[in-house]
Every structure is written in C-alpha cells, then in structure tokens.
C-alpha cells in the first residue's frame, strides 16, 4: 500500500506541475491575466513564510521575542537593500545563530 501511495503522490504532484504548462495556449491569456500571474510568487510564498516564523508546532503564536522573528526582520532589511538571495538567506541564518547561541 505504501508503495502505491508514494507513486500516486508522485503522479499527483507531476500532474499539478505539467497540466497548466501543457494546457494553456498563448491566445488564452490576455495582458491583464499575464499581469495578474506576475503576482503569483508574492501571493504564494508568504503563505509558507508567515506560519513558519510566527506559529509554533501547536499552531499558537510564538512570543514576540522569538529568535526567528528578529532574524527574519534582519534578513528582510539586508535583502531589501542588497536585493541578493544569498545575502537574505545568510544574514537570516547567521543572525538566528548569533541570537540562539551567543545572546
């Protein structure tokens, strides 16, 4: 059973990836829809960021002085000014480690 579930999970995931790429044709999207689709990363990724930072394993809010909150704020600032992926990730991780290990 587990084997079947793994393959079905793979099939479902693949279908989700492939379906729109194969289905949508150029003339199906007008300029307005294309503009809307440009917002997809900004609409999807925060849904993965906010809960991971603000909620704990039991889905209640972490305290305001949780190291993750300060670290992600630093990463946001560094990323805002540098506009670099690597700077955002590293500044966040390093400040997180400084907070939990040194402070």
Which residue ranges make up the site for another protein (CB under 8 A)? 1-14, 16-26, 29, 32, 34-55, 59, 68, 71-72, 75-76, 79-80, 83-86, 88-90, 92-93, 96-97, 100
What is the SS3 assignment for 24?
Answer: coil
* Overall residue count recorded for the chain in this entry: 103
CA–CA dist 103, 101 (Å, integer): 6
Q: How far is the CB of 11 from another protein (least distance, A)?
A: 8
How many CB atoms within 10 Å of residue 34?
10
Q: How far is the CB of 70 from another protein (least distance, A)?
A: 12
- Of 63 and 83, CB closest to another protein: 83
């Amino acid at each position: 059973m587990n084997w079947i579930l793994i393959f079905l999970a793979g099939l479902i995931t693949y279908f989700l990836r492939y379906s729109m790429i194969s289905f949508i044709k150029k003339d199906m999207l007008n300029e307005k829809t294309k503009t809307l689709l440009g917002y997809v990363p900004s609409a999807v990724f925060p849904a993965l960021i906010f809960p991971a930072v603000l909620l704990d394993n039991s889905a209640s809010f972490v305290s305001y002085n949780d190291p993750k909150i300060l670290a992600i704020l630093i990463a946001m600032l560094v990323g805002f000014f540098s506009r670099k992926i690597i700077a955002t990730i590293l500044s966040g991780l390093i400040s997180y480690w400084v907070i939990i290990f040194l402070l």
